[in-house]
């Protein structure tokens, strides 16, 4: 028995909603800049949030935590990214995270990166726009 008055199956939350939800789990006592991320990888959604450390340089961004969770689960094909911060306009992934996202993007022009905030603002790019001519590793021997 459920109290949900909506008819039929409930659609899964969007990637943006998952990023918003993940933001609540950020550990950001130093910067107070809470970041949530959700990535769709090989058809599945993985969440991340920034995790800071008293030794500031050990901090890991939300986007990288989400991508690494996907890889550890065996998912490698990056399809879409959503990031949630309090910033207005919504802030985009840092350069280091763009490079990590590129590693798992077979087609960076087909990966949409959407930045949102809890107030409903939204900006969106492709990964190719965020990291043009990125280092793909194809140059390696
Ligand atoms: N941060 C992220 O989680 N993702 C980004 O793309 C930019 C920065 C985090 C790292 C740190 O915890 C805080 O935001 C301030 O830099």
Q: State pLDDT tens for residues 75-121.
A: 999 999 999 999 999 999 999 999 999 999 999 999 999 999 999 99
Work out the pLDDT band at 10, boundaries 50, 70, 90.
confident
Give the pLDDT band (50/70/90) at residue 1: low
Q: Is the CB of 35 under 6 A from ligand 1?
A: yes
For ligand 1, the distance from its centroid to the CA atom of residue 77, given in whole angstroms, is 23
End-to-end CA distance of the chain: 60
Asked if 114 and 122 touch (Cβ cutoff 8 Å), the reply is yes
- Per-residue tokens: 140: 């390696």
**The ligand 1 atom nearest the CA atom of 52:** 12
Cα(27)–Cα(48) distance, integer angstroms: 11
- Other Cβ atoms less than 10 A from the Cβ of 109: the count is 10
Residue among 16, 47, 52, 63 flagged as catalytic: 63
116-137 b/e (C-beta count within 10 Å ≥ 16 → b):
bbeeeeeeebebbebbeebeee
What pLDDT does 13 receive? 77
Q: Does residue 63 have an active-site annotation?
A: yes
Q: Residue 84: its pLDDT value, please?
A: 98
Nearest CA to ligand 1 atom 8: 61
């Amino acid at each position: 028995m459920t109290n949900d008055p909506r008819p039929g199956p409930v659609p899964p939350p969007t990637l943006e909603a998952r990023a918003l939800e993940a933001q609540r789990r950020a550990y950001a006592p130093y910067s107070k800049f809470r970041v949530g991320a959700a990535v769709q990888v090989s058809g599945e959604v993985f969440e991340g949030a920034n995790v800071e450390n008293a030794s500031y340089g050990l901090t890991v961004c939300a986007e990288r935590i989400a991508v690494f969770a996907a890889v550890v689960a065996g998912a490698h094909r990056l399809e879409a990214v959503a990031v949630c911060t309090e910033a207005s306009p919504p802030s985009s992934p840092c350069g280091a995270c763009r490079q990590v996202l590129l590693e798992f993007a077979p087609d960076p022009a087909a990966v949409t990166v959407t930045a949102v905030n809890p107030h409903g603002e939204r900006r969106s790019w492709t990964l190719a726009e965020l990291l043009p001519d990125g280092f793909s590793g194809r140059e390696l021997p």
